[in-house]
């Protein structure tokens, strides 16, 4: 499974928010869209998933135009986790995670053996087994975020697209999420993330696309990003550094 965008432009009203951007995400890799708020990261991701109109260019999700796919067909190809998903109703963690099986024809109250296995595995990966019966509206923001990530995992789609997956998380929680995403790529999934967190991109991404004002300034491995592009994308002078095998972003 791969996601491919070629010379894609997106207009929102009279404003061009994505300008002739090309992007490819393949199985087994993590690609990060990095940039400040308003750089166009979310619009580009949504365009790739068929959730935002494309003014120009071509998009293929698993070899098909996502805009021509049904909602179920898209969900079988890609699991999308938007920014700060909400679940404030009194639903249990397990039932929320089980919603990821809808695309496979299952509902939380009628899970087959394969569906239950996917839910159990997602709960385990996100360290939520002990909280499976807890109500979502009683959990902290960090635990809610892990539950939503588990829902996306339970969908078992070959592509995961996550918009700011570590926003609002403490450092330990953010590190846990980054480890889950890296593991998913090693297991053969394609992973696309939007983030303004240069540290997250440095830790988990195989490739980073630096966006500014709807255009790609640089595309490459995290440790090879040009300082000038980093500065434009982050708003501060920055450089990549590696300490004991861990990539870090250092700001002046």
Kind and range of the H or E run holding 57: strand 56-61
Contact 136, 93 (CB under 8 A): yes
Q: Which of 35, 20, 19, 26 is nearest to 4 (CA)?
A: 26
Distance CA 100, CA 79 (A): 8
Task: For residue 59, give both structure tokens.
Answer: 């998009």
Which residues, listed in sequence order, are joined to residue 81 by a DSSP beta bridge?
Answer: 162
Q: pLDDT at residue 244 above 60? A: no
Question: How much is the pLDDT for 202?
Answer: 82
* pLDDT at 55 (0 to 100): 94
Is there a contact between 237 and 252 (Cβ–Cβ < 8 Å)?
A: yes
pLDDT tens, 87-98?
A: 667 899 999 999
* Token pair 């394609």 in the structure block, residue: 190
Q: Dump pLDDT digits (tens) for 168-218.
A: 788 888 888 899 999 999 999 999 999 988 778 888 999 999 898 899 988
According to DSSP, the residues that pair with 60 across neighbouring strands are 4
Residue range 96-155, pLDDT digits in tens: 999 999 999 988 888 999 999 999 999 999 999 999 999 998 988 889 999 999 999 999
Helical pair 141-154 and 113-125, crossing angle rounded to 10 deg: 140
Q: Which residue has the tokens 């109109």?
A: 53
Q: What is the dihedral of CA 18, 21, 27, 33, to 10 degrees?
A: -50
Mean pLDDT of the chain: 89
Measuring CA to CA, how many Å separate 171 from each of 142, 156, 157, 226, 247? 11, 27, 27, 26, 15
The pLDDT value given to residue 13: 87
Read off the tokens for 168: 């609002």
The pLDDT, as a whole number, for residue 89 is 74
How is residue 193 written in tokens?
């993330």
Give the pTM.
Answer: 0.90
């Amino acid at each position: 499974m791969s996601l491919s965008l070629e010379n894609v432009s997106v207009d929102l009203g009279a404003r061009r928010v994505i300008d002739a951007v090309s992007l490819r995400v393949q199985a087994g890799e993590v690609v990060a869209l990095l940039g400040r708020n308003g750089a166009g990261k979310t619009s580009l991701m949504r365009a790739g998933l068929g959730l935002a109109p494309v003014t120009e260019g071509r998009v293929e999700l698993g070899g098909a135009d996502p805009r021509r796919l049904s909602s179920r067909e898209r969900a079988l190809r890609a699991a999308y986790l938007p920014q700060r998903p909400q679940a404030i109703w009194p639903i249990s963690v397990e039932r929320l995670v089980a919603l990821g099986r809808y695309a496979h024809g299952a509902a939380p109250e009628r899970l087959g053996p394969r569906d239950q296995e996917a839910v159990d595995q997602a709960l385990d990966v996100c360290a939520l087994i002990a909280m499976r019966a807890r109500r979502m509206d009683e959990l902290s923001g960090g635990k809610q975020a892990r539950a939503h990530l588990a829902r996306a995992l339970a969908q078992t789609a070959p592509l995961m697209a996550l918009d700011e997956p570590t926003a609002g998380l403490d450092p330990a929680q953010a590190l846990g999420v980054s480890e889950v995403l890296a593991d998913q790529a090693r297991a053969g999934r394609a992973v696309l993330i939007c983030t303004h967190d240069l540290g997250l991109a440095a830790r988990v991404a195989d490739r980073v696309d630096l966006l500014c004002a709807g255009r790609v300034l640089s595309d490459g491995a995290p440790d090879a990003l040009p300082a000038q592009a980093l500065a434009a994308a982050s708003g501060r002078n920055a450089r990549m550094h590696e300490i004991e095998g861990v990539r870090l972003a250092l700001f002046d």
